[in-house]
Structure 1
């Protein structure tokens, strides 16, 4: 597995002290430094004092659990969050993703897989932070998103997108691989409270797919996650 070329710092919030120590030891070998704490409350205090590139957050903790902790984090930060859960049921995973998690692992897990996911999330997060500051085009397999012209270049041609189409596509791309609920998309793109009217979102995504997808009937970039929302393909 390729190591990161730069040093990054992560925060591990888990009441399992042995696991915290093991994660810290493992990520250090990948040029990633780690701090850890054993409660959500302590994690929030550290977040106010220090800058991190990613948070590893356990769901099952005494006092403030992982979901409550993540809710407070999401009020002030879009930092990537990788959740750890001992619950092997789909509802817990869906709840975590809907609440703002970027990824999750079910305990027990392979440490190599955890490291791979941490590195992937850090690369994605730092890439888009760089893009925001430098207005560089985003390039994927067969798709380029140009900030300056608010357009896309695809195998179907070049399209200058209306504002909401561009904003929706960019929001999904910036959260590549993360499942976004219709409420999250609506509140980000429309800038107002969600009113449970999905027709506007569905219409814009339908128009986008006709422009950017090789086959709009089988979406490659903007994928539907049934019963939840949409996800920009993490494989591109």
Structure 2
């Protein structure tokens, strides 16, 4: 089963079918419909590699890389044309690897494999080490436990994942669609708003048992989603 996912931003002349074929053997491929589609998918889906193969000016490619890098830390592999002299500029813009033609489908596949492997290991280590604290809320990724004012809050898997998602970026609003894809790890289907509401309601009740004010740290944004409330004390 393919667990890794690659998002590809390319145009008609940017990437050969041979290259795509080799990549599809090691990961699921999503062909983005443009930069906006790429950015949209990166905010709601988890990818292990971003592959950019555009027949554009170096400055345009650098701007694309910078826009993506502001959104995610996912590795970026850029394929440049034979006459390109902007490899260093693309790297400084945020790309991890930039290959200049001529390159082979096998080389692209090997570079993709190496970047995905390092990123997967980095994510695993980072997730285990990062204790997240927001006010009295503490989320322990390694132990997968939650505490409020040093009191244990008994949570199940999705409740933990939801809290960790919000606590990692306090104040950021996640839409229902983003929450469902990141917590349930599925493409949204059915009445996801009600599904998420029920989960959040149960979680708030558990927080309330520990402290009557604890439930208010989860803030609902009407018709949009949820965020973790940041109190300025």
TM-score by length of 1: 0.48
TM-score with structure 2 setting the length: 0.49
